[in-house]
Amino acid sequence: MAAYAHIVGWGKYIPEKVVTNHDISKFMDTSDEWIKTRTGISERRFANEDETTATMAIAAAQLALDRARIKPSAIDLIIVASLSPEQPFPATASLVQDAIGANRAGAFDLSAACAGFIYALSMGSAMIQSGAAKIVLVIGSETVSRFLNKEDRGTYPLFGDGAGALVLQAHNTPGGVLSTVLGSDGSGAEHLSIPAGGSKLPASQYTIDNRLHCMQMNGREVYRFATRIMGKVAKQACEKAGVDLDDIDLFIPHQANIRIIQSASKYLGIGDDKVFTNLHKYGNTSTASIPIALCEAVEAGRVQAHDKLVMVGFGGGLSWGATVVQWGMPVPYKPRQWWYRGLRWFVYRWAKIRSSYLRLKRRMESILPTKNGNGYLTPDEERSGDKYKENGHSPHISRNGHTPEQVDVPAEIPETYSETEEPVIEVEKPSNGK
């Protein structure tokens, strides 16, 4: 039986700190009119010191799971798309998994810049359609503000922070994610990037002095690329899904620039009444822009059951992607009763307790001697290596993996071993029923 990946939960997190165009004009040679006429952005949100990519992703995920009425332990996979992860590793998705108590879930991060959420949605739906997963949590979360150069007028006014999450669930009812189209052109990689911080340009005084850890963008080239690709890839996704452009109920593009959005909608022949935008409030939140926009479209009553939605993203790589989704959830969302909210509160507090217990357990295991079959080794046993011999381990290999210069060869060699040959393992031949 075919499985379809339906969106059953959605949630967003928006930082409280508002940075207006007027605020930026106080320290940069720009103005509210200059920014607004060229981008359509009036203000954006920046994360506070205690807000990170992980904390915002967790908040959005909890809200999405609440709306889906799905417990965290039922999740099979968590995917976090971000160009500003918590750190290079471990994955931000693993931190989300631990915080929400998704103890059965796999977790990984995905890097495709501003197109990342479409990539993540594609991976999640493919896992469900293949039967490898039943419930997938897909998140786009960003703290781009911490990678911006306050002296760069070409990037600083454009970006903001935030997070959005969707819950995908397998169902045999046709609908959900109908198609996805992904693409990339690495020949344009230098036009939008954060040059330093990787293996090519690790952190050094040079990279810091030249602000190579901040985002750099060739605005003219990115604009030309975006206006060419957004409408084209959206049309390809519709053709793949078998959906006519006239049947599109709502177009939700990556919220980067109002002129790029208008160019794409004109290419597709979609009227302004079928295009959702919120970049005037949040700016470009990178991977979070599409899920945040979808959440607000649902909240505004712009999405109804069985509506066909087209979502398109583009960004560094250069990369792009589009998806067609048939909405299956009844709306509007009804607030949960007090007892349900209390139950969810307990679930997440229990996740914190579980996490603290596992951390304490690891600390205790690192303090206590190595555990061996029947119990913990005493210091004398560890030094003598007697217990290692009993379990088949060589006592001549130190615990840090180094081999001493002189190693005594055991007096007796098992009969199945040769001094010059690999061990011989005898396998009983099948009887073939005889």
pLDDT band at 198 (very low <50, low <70, confident <90, very high): very high
Name the percent of the chain lying above pLDDT 90.
75
Q: What is the pLDDT of residues 36-52, one digit of tens each?
A: 999 999 999 999 999 99
Q: Contact 318/223 with Cβ under 8 angstroms?
A: no
**Cβ within 8 Å of residue 433, ≥6 positions away:** none
Q: Do the bridges between strand 192-193 and strand 17-20 make them parallel or antiparallel, or are there none, so unpaired?
A: unpaired
| Whole-number Å distance between alpha carbons of 21 and 138 | 31
Neighbours of 356 (CB within 10 A): 10
Torsion of CA 356, 358, 360, 362, to 10 degrees: -150
pLDDT surpassing 90 at residue 275: yes
Distance (Å) of CA 120 to CA 21, 71, 296:
32, 21, 20
- Full-prediction pTM beyond 0.85? no
Q: How confident is the model at residue 218, as a pLDDT?
A: 94
162-186 average pLDDT score: 96
- Residue 143 DSSP symbol: -
What DSSP element (H or E) covers 141? strand 135-142
- pLDDT higher for 224 or 384? 224
So what's the pLDDT on residue 342?
77
- In the chain the domains, ranked by start, together with CATH numbers, are 4-334 (3.40.47.10), 376-434 (no CATH)
Q: What is the pLDDT of residue 43?
A: 97
Q: Where are the alpha helices (DSSP H) in 243-396?
A: 258-268, 279-282, 289-299, 338-367, 379-384, 386-390
- Predicted pLDDT of residue 142: 98
φ and ψ at residue 276, rounded to 5 degrees: -105, 130
Residue 288 carries which side chain, given as an amino acid letter?
A
Residue matched to tokens 């750190």: 87
Catalytic positions are 114, 254, 284
CA distance 191 to 315: 10
Mean pLDDT value across residues 17-21: 97
Specify the amino acid at residue 214: C
For the residues 349-368, what does the mean pLDDT come to? Answer: 83
